[in-house]
């Protein structure tokens, strides 16, 4: 099946099965390796990307459901996004494998809740981190909220 | 019950006291700290001043880091050692993964396995550690583990920095025709004190490299430090916030293929049948590879390979082990304990006699199987050509990996190129060559093509090298003043490190004793006049067991520190006071517990419904103490806060240490609350994070860490946060409910 996707603001035409999960389109077809494979069932969130600004777990999203929508991956944040800056300031990542997904989840959370409470962070960040960077993620989200997220990611 | 060890087996016969001394002096030169500069590949404008660093004309200093980066911060902490003694400009430091060579071997990690008390500085202790160090240099394993990176690098990397600094000063002195003593260095600039003239390191590196390295160097005193002890930001973090960091699984090459595998769910089973025809016809499938115990599919994407395997008709023959279970293993343990074939690691006074008098306090504890569950599933990318192979694999021991790869490929080692990118978690799972060996066999089916094998999460959980299950029994007696008069601790588990080493060195006959079996149980800081700690080694074949963050400490500290609280209760003493009464000869440990008492406000009341528990221990040359605060609401256990004090000697980078403590505590708490792998019908039941639960953001307690100021030699950090949290939580639960949980995970 030929499908046209909008990925990080660019139009990409691909010949893939409709049920191929978006994660594998990004990684194995397009070489966008920032989005990670962790569990394959949407449980860990390492594969989190945005679909029209909403966080989705791309390992469980058939690519056909991304048709006509804007797909945003970690690569599109650049590096100077306030959430990324807060991540560096709080020295959040350890092994770093979950962090692309964490940051995408945090950007979406801050868009929905510009100044999230701890409970909103607990509810909004359901991604898993095996290294246990959660306390620093919480700190970085609060810091990024204080820094006013004014960029539209 | 027999108390004397009847299986006095040693890792290498020659490594025992006498043998080590005999082979030692004749064969071994002093450890070469500097190594051969030619080990480092150079660009045209670079020179190497040792195996550890090279300097470019523009002043860029590239440090070869001998350990792998898996989030523990070694790519920052180890270059700090060199930069400090070199007086380098930190912003000019770049990091490269060291090549494979003996100079980068890990000696301290091996010496840690010497089966004797670390505090033993007498002739026996010194000789045994010396012999183990010699053995370590023979094997020269380039392994990252055992919380040993800073400890092992402490001398060689500071030596490399100080030596290079002197060579640069010498080169400047020759140019200016002045004495070295008239020069100073700061931030990669050498200044002549009298004239104010300066040279940048980059301008002199070529001349310095031609000089003979000095044999006499002086290290800085700690008051002169400008980098060590500072929270320098980690060099790997920016790339880990923008998707640029490359892990093994991120290896992509033009025209590559993707593989998935399904191995016999029953350990020790073999492949019986597979409908190859149907598999080959599945969408995207390029090739089917049958292994003795597995089927692999090569496809155009990882997902196609996984889907084809999920739908395939595959039959395995579980063979003799199809009924094996964890319950059966614990039955084996109990039988072995009844026979009493123990190896005594520690025997002070006469515990046996002292325990014949009543009342004796007894308890039995157990710990389950655990998986590592690194978030990056095990994976390996391989291309096999006619005359060599290239391998990309996040791993904790590059030399072991390359050696095993060369053996499997029947190539000389130099024909195998191994790339070690960042590791998406290690925790003891990634020194294991098994995934790579599968990937090699798969890639051999498509010579000249690059193939990436990625394990599914189920494969990762079901074919791990697990933390072994353990069973522990205590007997103890208190004296009239409520102190411990006698202590007998018997542990049953497999000898995990020999079993692990047998996978790494299939050609070498290796056996116990395995000091890690009693890590956290033997050689405790507590003064107990009559104490015996003994281990009964029971094999758990065919279950593959390995090393899991903090290894023996992770189970033994739960046993020991829980039982200490049982004894404190029996003595009607406060748990911290009770411990301190047995630590009067140990000022560092006592000071740490006092500090923990203070920061946890131990002596103040908590709100009703909450309780505290304490645990404490020595591990990897460091001392750690933790207090956990818990409550039970609606039948559910909640851990609110964990306070942690660490004495790891000199702190290289306090923020990395704090991050590692937070990490270790969450790793240990995950195991304490949820960690359990079910082994039944010969197989592991867990298949994803749904049934192998990890701690989440919402479950994570507030964590407060404190570091003790110390000038002592650096201690280990990466694993020391892990073992104390389970007993601290168990002790808090006992304080809250009056009920003692003696089995992990903790279920109220």
Q: How far off is chain B from A11, nearest CA to CA, in Å? A: 20
The answer to whether B70 and A95 have CB atoms below 8 angstroms apart is yes
Question: pLDDT averaged over consecutive 10-residue blocks of chain A (153 residues)?
Answer: 95 96 97 98 98 98 97 96 98 98 98 97 98 98 79 40
Model confidence at B19: pLDDT above 80 = no
B612 and B657 together in one domain? yes
Domain assignment of residue B130, yes or no: no
Closest CA to B258 of B501, B452, B463: B452
CA B664, CA B641: separation in Å to the nearest integer?
Answer: 14
B391-415 pLDDT per residue, tens: 999 999 999 999 999 999 999 999 9
**Mean predicted confidence (pLDDT) in B607-615:** 97
pLDDT digits (tens, 9 = 90+) for B435-481: 999 999 999 999 999 999 999 999 999 999 999 999 999 999 999 99
Q: In terms of Cα–Cα distance, which of B516, B528, B531, B722 is closest to B615?
A: B722
Residue B22 lies in a domain: no
Q: Determine the structural domain holding residue B219 and report its residue range.
A: 37-106+141-240
Q: Choose, out of B241, B456, B667, the residue to mutate when testing the contact with A (most A CBs < 10 Å).
A: B241
B3: Cβ contacts below 8 Å, ≥ 6 apart? B340, B342, B344, B347, B352, B532, B534
Task: Tell me which of B454, B481, B502 is where a domain ends.
Answer: B454
H/E stretch holding B475 reads strand B470-478
Residues B230 and B364 in one domain: no
Same domain, residue pair B507 and B597? yes
Which tokens in the block code for residue A52?
């029209």
- Judged by a CB distance cut-off of 8 A, whether residue A118 touches chain B is no
A38/B665 Cβ within 8 A: no
Do B425 and B432 meet the contact criterion of CB atoms below 8 Å apart? no
CB B723 within 8 A of CB B550: yes
| B133 belongs to a structural domain | no
Q: How far is CA B367 from CA B298, B334, B343, B388, in A?
A: 39, 14, 20, 45
Number of CB atoms found within 10 A of residue B482's CB: 16
Name the residue among A43, A97, A126 with its Cβ closest to that of B247.
Answer: A97
Beta bridge partners of B96: B64
Q: What secondary structure letter does DSSP report for A131?
A: S
Confirm whether B234 is domain-assigned.
Answer: yes
Confidence of residue B510 (pLDDT cuts 50, 70, 90): low
Contact at CB, B258 and A100, closer than 8 angstroms: no
pLDDT, tens digit (0-9, with 9 covering 90-100), for B172-200: 999 999 999 999 999 999 999 999 999 99
pLDDT at B512: 65
> Does B479 fall in a domain?
yes
Indicate whether B271 and B401 sit together in one domain: yes
Task: Give yes or no: residues B449 and B560 share one domain.
Answer: no
**Residues of chain B positioned with their CB less than 8 A from the CB of A131:** 71, 375, 425, 663, 666-667
What confidence tier does B8 reach under pLDDT thresholds 50, 70, 90? Answer: very low
Distances (CA, A) of B421 to A24, B23, B39: 21, 38, 19
pLDDT of amino acid A148 = 53
- Stretch B536-558: mean pLDDT, rounded? 96
Q: How far is the C-alpha of B254 from the C-alpha of B484, rounded, in Å?
A: 67
* B132 lies in some domain: no
- The count of other CB atoms within 10 Å of the CB of residue B24 is 17
Mutate which: B235, B259, B307, B375, vs A, most A CBs within 10 A: B375
Q: Return the pLDDT at B116.
A: 83
Percent pLDDT > 90 in chain B is: 88
Nearest chain B residue (CA) to A128: B696
* CB of A107 less than 8 A from some CB of B: no
The reply to whether residue B659 touches residue A27, judged by beta carbons under 8 angstroms, is no
Domain ranges of chain A: 2-74, 77-146
Whether residues B292 and B172 share a domain: the answer is: no
- Sequence-distant (6+) residues with CB within 8 A of B511 are B9, B10, B11, B495, B498
Measured between CB atoms, which of B240, B697, B698 is closest to A99? B240
The answer to whether the CB atoms of B245 and A132 lie below 8 A apart is: no
Boundary (domain end) residue, out of B454, B476, B494: B454
Please report whether residue B385 resides in a domain. Answer: yes
Contacts of B457 in chain A (CB under 8 A): 38-41
Q: State the Cα–Cα distance between residues B164 and B185, nearest whole angstrom.
A: 12
Is A30 near chain B, with CB under 8 Å?
A: no
Q: In what order do the strands lie in the sheet with B416-419?
A: B285-291, B294-299, B257-263, B450-454, B379-384, B389-392, B416-419
- In order, the DSSP letters of A31-54 are --TTS--S-SSSSS-TTEEEETTE
What pLDDT score does B561 carry? 99
- B552: distance to nearest CA of chain A, Å? 20
Do residues B312 and B345 share a domain?
Answer: no
Q: Indicate yes or no: CB of A27 within 8 angstroms of CB of B241.
A: no
DSSP structure class, residue A28: I
Give the nearest chain A residue to B258 (CA atoms).
A28
* Res. B511 pLDDT band, cuts 50 70 90: low
Return the residue of B nearest to A86 by Cα: B241
Predicted pLDDT of residue B129 = 87
**Rounded to whole angstroms, how far apart are CA atoms B185 and B224?**
12
Inform me whether the pLDDT recorded for B22 exceeds 90.
no
DSSP codes, B578-592: HHHHT-TT-HHHHHH
Q: Give residue-wise pLDDT tens across range B369-397.
A: 999 999 999 999 999 999 999 999 999 99
Number of domains in chain B: 3
Q: What are phi and psi of B364, to 5 degrees?
A: -125, 135
Q: Are residues B626 and B714 in the same domain?
A: yes
Q: Which residues of B touch A129 (CB under 8 A)?
A: 375, 694
Contact, B733 vs B746, CB < 8 A? Answer: yes
Same domain? B164 vs B258:
no
Question: Cα(B167)–Cα(B174) distance, rounded to whole angstroms?
Answer: 11
Binding-face residues of A in 57-86 toward B, CB within 8 A = 73-75, 77-79, 84
| In a domain? residue B23 | no
Q: What are B634's two structure tokens?
A: 């609606």
Q: B635: alpha, beta or left, given left = phi > 0 and alpha = psi -120 to 50?
A: left
Token readout for B211 is 């000089």
Same domain, B509 and B656: yes
Among residues B428, B454, B480, the one where a domain terminates is: B454
CATH class of A2-74: alpha beta
In chain B, the N- to C-terminal Cα span, in Å, equals: 34
Tell me, what's the pLDDT at A144?
A: 97
Same domain, B383 and B518: no
For residue range B684-721, list pLDDT tens digits in order: 999 999 999 999 999 999 999 999 999 999 999 999 99
CATH topology of domain A77-146: DNA polymerase; domain 1 (1.10.150)
Q: What is the pLDDT of residues B37-71, one digit of tens each?
A: 999 999 999 999 999 999 999 999 999 999 999 99
Confirm or reject contact between B302 and chain A (CB < 8 A).
Answer: yes
User: Cα Rg for chain A, rounded, in angstroms?
Assistant: 15
CA A79 to CA A75: how far, in whole Å?
A: 8
Instruction: Judge if B540 and B678 occupy the same domain.
Output: yes
Q: Return the structure tokens found at B222.
A: 């700690």
Task: Give A-chain residues touching B373 at CB under 8 angstroms.
Answer: 130
A18 touches chain B (CB under 8 A): no
Would you state the pLDDT for residue B254? 92
Six token digits for residue B610: 């909450």
> Which distant-in-sequence residues (6+ apart) come within 8 Å of B297 by Cβ?
B259, B260, B261, B279, B282, B285, B287, B288, B289, B305, B308, B309, B312
Q: Is the pLDDT of residue B1 over 60?
A: no
CATH number, domain with residue B253:
3.30.365.10
């Amino acid at each position: 099946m030929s499908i046209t996707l909008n990925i990080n603001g660019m139009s990409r035409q691909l010949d893939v099965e409709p049920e191929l999960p978006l994660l594998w389109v990004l990684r194995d077809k397009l070489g966008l390796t920032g989005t990670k494979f962790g569990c394959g069932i949407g449980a860990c969130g390492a594969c989190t990307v945005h679909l029209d600004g909403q966080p989705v777990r791309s390992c469980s999203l058939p690519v056909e459901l991304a048709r006509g929508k804007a797909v945003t991956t970690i690569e599109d944040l650049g590096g100077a996004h306030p959430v990324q800056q807060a991540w560096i300031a709080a020295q959040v990542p350890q092994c770093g494998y979950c962090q692309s997904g964490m940051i995408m989840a945090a950007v979406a959370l801050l868009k929905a809740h510009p100044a999230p409470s701890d409970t909103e962070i607990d509810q909004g960040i359901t991604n898993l981190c095996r290294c246990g960077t959660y306390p620093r993620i919480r700190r970085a989200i609060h810091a990024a909220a204080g820094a006013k997220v004014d960029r539209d990611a | 019950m027999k108390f004397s060890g009847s299986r006095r087996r040693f890792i290498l016969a020659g490594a025992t006291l006498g043998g080590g001394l005999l082979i030692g002096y004749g064969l071994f030169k002093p450890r070469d700290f500097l190594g051969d500069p030619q080990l480092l590949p150079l660009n045209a404008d670079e020179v190497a001043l040792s195996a550890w660093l090279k300097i470019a004309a523009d002043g860029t200093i590239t440090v070869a880091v001998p350990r792998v980066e898996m989030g523990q911060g070694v790519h920052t902490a180890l270059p700090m050692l060199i930069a400090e003694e070199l007086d380098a400009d930190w912003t000019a430091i770049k990091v490269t993964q060291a090549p494979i060579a003996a100079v980068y071997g890990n000696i301290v990690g091996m010496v840690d396995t010497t089966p004797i008390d670390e505090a033993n500085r007498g002739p026996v202790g010194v000789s045994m550690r010396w012999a183990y160090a010699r053995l370590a240099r023979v094997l020269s394993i380039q392994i990252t583990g055992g919380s040993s990176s800073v400890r092992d690098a402490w001398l060689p990397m500071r030596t490399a920095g100080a030596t290079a600094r002197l060579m640069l000063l010498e080169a400047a002195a020759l140019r200016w025709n002045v004495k070295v003593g008239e020069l100073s260095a700061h931030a990669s600039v050498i200044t002549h004190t009298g004239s104010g003239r300066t040279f940048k390191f980059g301008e002199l590196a070529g001349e310095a490299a031609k000089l003979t390295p000095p044999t006499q160097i002086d290290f800085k005193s700690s008051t002169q430090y400008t980098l060590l002890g500072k929270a320098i930001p980690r060099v790997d973090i920016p790339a880990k916030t923008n998707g640029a960091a490359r892990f093994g699984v991120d290896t992509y090459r033009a025209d590559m293929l993707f593989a998935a595998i399904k191995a016999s769910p029953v350990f020790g089973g073999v492949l019986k049948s597979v409908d190859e025809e149907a598999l080959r016809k599945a969408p995207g499938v390029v090739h089917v590879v049958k292994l003795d115990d597995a089927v692999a599919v090569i496809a155009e994407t990882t997902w196609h390979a996984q889907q084809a395997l999920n739908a395939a008709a595959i039959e395995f023959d579980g063979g003799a082990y199809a009924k094996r279970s964890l319950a059966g293993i614990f039955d084996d343990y109990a039988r072995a304990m009844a026979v009493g074939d123990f190896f005594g690691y520690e025997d002070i006074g006469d515990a046996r006699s002292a325990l014949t008098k009543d009342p004796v306090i007894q308890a039995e504890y157990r710990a389950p199987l655990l998986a590592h569950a690194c978030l990056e599933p095990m994976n390996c990318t391989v291309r096999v050509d006619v005359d060599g192979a290239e391998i990309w694999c996040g791993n904790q021991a590059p030399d072991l990996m390359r050696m095993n790869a060369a053996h499997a490929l029947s190539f000389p080692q130099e024909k195998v190129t191994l790339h070690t990118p960042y590791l998406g978690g290690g925790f003891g799972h990634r020194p294991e060559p098994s995934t790579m060996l599968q990937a090699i066999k798969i890639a051999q089916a498509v010579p000249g093509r690059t193939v990436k094998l990625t394990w599914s999460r189920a494969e990762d959980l079901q074919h791990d090298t697990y933390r072994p299950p353990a069973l522990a029994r205590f007997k103890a007696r208190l004296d009239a003043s409520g102190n411990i008069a006698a202590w007998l601790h018997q542990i049953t588990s497999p000898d995990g490190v020999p079993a692990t080493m047998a996978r790494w060195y299939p050609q070498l006959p290796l056996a116990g004793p395995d000091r890690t079996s009693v890590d956290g149980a033997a050689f405790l800081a507590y003064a107990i006049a009559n104490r015996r700690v003994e281990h009964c080694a029971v094999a758990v074949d065919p279950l593959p067991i390995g090393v899991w963050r903090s290894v023996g400490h992770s189970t033994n500290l739960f046993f020991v520190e829980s039982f200490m609280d049982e004894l404190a209760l029996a003595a009607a003493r406060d748990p911290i006071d009770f411990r301190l009464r047995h630590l009067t000869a140990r000022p560092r440990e006592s000071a740490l517990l006092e500090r923990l008492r203070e920061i946890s406000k131990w002596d103040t009341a908590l709100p009703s419904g909450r309780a505290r528990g304490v645990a404490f221990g020595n591990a990897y040359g460091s001392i750690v103490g933790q207090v956990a605060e818990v409550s039970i609401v609606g039948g559910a256990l909640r851990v609110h806060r964990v306070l942690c004090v660490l004495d790891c000697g000199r702190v290289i980078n306090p923020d990395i240490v704090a991050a590692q403590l937070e990490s270790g505590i969450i790793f240990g708490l995950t195991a304490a609350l949820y960690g359990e792998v079910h082994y039944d019908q010969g197989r592991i039941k867990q298949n994803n994070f749904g049934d192998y639960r990890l701690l989440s953001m919402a479950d994570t307690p507030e964590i407060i860490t404190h570091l003790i100021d110390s000038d002592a030699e650096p201690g280990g950090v990466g694993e020391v946060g892990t073992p104390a949290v389970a007993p601290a939580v168990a002790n808090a639960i006992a304080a809250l409910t009056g009920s003692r949980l003696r089995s992990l995970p903790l279920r109220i």
